Amino acid sequence: MAVQSATPTARPRRRGWSKQTRRNLVTGLGFISIWVVGFFAFNLYPMLASFYFSFTEHHIRQPSEWIGPANYAGLMRDELFWRSLYNTAYMVLLGVPLGLLVSFVCALLLNLKVRGQSIYRVVYFLPSIVPVVAATMLWVWILNPTSGLLNSLLAYIGLRGPNWTGDPLWAKPSLILLGLWGMGNTIVIYLAGLQDIPQTLVEASELDGASWWQRLWAVTIPLISPITLFNLIIGVIAAFQYFAQAYILDAAAGPNDDTLGAPLNSTLFYSIYLYQQAFIYLKMGVASAQAWILFLIIMACTIFLIRSSERWTYYEGG
């Protein structure tokens, strides 16, 4: 019987990195080092600090005191917290779908082959590049109940316009109207999606005798559903952080009205109430708790939209 050799098989020697590989590694780390330092200093550290402060009674001029989940429990009993959440949900559930619908219709119109097409596209996109402060002040004048352009046009045809920014019933719709005016970015994204639809499918549906509505419902809308999903997620995230327009609208109300969210807290959105807690009342602990609640809400909504999109989003070849 042959005896097998017990000598172990020699392992191949592990080759180290070459000089060029090490040089490329150092160069790559050098290029990303600025981003890494910025991420840790301006993103990760503030997030971790706010998470700690959310469990403390923290004021700017006083040392922090650990109080556990008391800030979160206090917010659950705060009527203004729930009011701000309701106002924000109003913008998410009404403003975002309405904005997507208007943007899609405008993109369909801008996709038509007509004379002056490029001019129309520029005109629809221009409002989106106007600074927020300038655009909001313009609409403060347009929505002025006594001398505004909109109420003047309504009076010309015999209708009495409402007090857009001073009536709690019309305050949020007026902000939605302002948002629809600046939907240029969403329109451009929809327009790019419409131009990416294969014309062979459109021509095939025409040969099958499909009407314009049938082509829109069976071809166009399914093929741009990924674009709709993207715009929907971006719109929901932006609506939950709605701040600038409502804050400027409050500031334009005059020096006698120093209450954020006027009239009658109808424009007290979540981010405005968070700003009020942090920089007016200097309750950084409460504001940090609000920020983390907002983060969890946005994350839950985003996950829900992505999971539910499997039922209505069509990917070619998927």
Cα dihedral sign, 33-39-40-41: positive
* Pair of tokens at residue 250: 């409050």
DSSP per-residue string spanning 58-69: EETTEEEEE-TT
Nearest to 124 by CA among 217, 189, 221: 189
Give phi and psi for 62, each to the nearest 5.
-130, 155
pLDDT at 1: 47
Q: Which residue has the tokens 């039922």?
A: 311
Half-sphere exposure of 158 (CA within 13 A, CB side): 0
Domains and their CATH numbers in the chain: 77-311 (1.10.3720.10)
CA angle at 202 for the pair 186 and 313, rounded to the nearest 5° = 50
pLDDT at 251: 79
Q: Which helix (H) or strand (E) holds 57?
A: strand 56-59
pLDDT at 10: 55
Per-residue pLDDT of the chain (318 residues; tens, 9 = 90+): 455 555 555 565 556 788 888 899 999 999 999 999 999 999 999 999 999 999 999 887 778 899 999 999 999 999 999 999 999 999 999 999 999 999 999 999 999 988 989 999 999 999 999 999 999 999 999 999 888 999 999 999 998 989 998 889 999 999 999 999 999 999 999 999 999 988 888 888 888 888 889 999 989 999 999 999 999 999 999 999 999 999 998 877 655 444 677 778 999 999 999 999 999 999 999 999 999 999 999 999 999 999 999 899 988 766
Q: Largest Cα–Cα distance of the chain, in whole Å? A: 114
* Pair of tokens at residue 162: 């409402």
Q: Is residue 130 within 8 Å of residue 182, measured between CB atoms? A: yes
pLDDT at 256: 47
Residues 6+ apart with CB under 8 A from 198: none
Instruction: Report how far residue 97's alpha carbon sits from residue 232's, in angstroms, rounded to the nearest whole number.
Output: 8
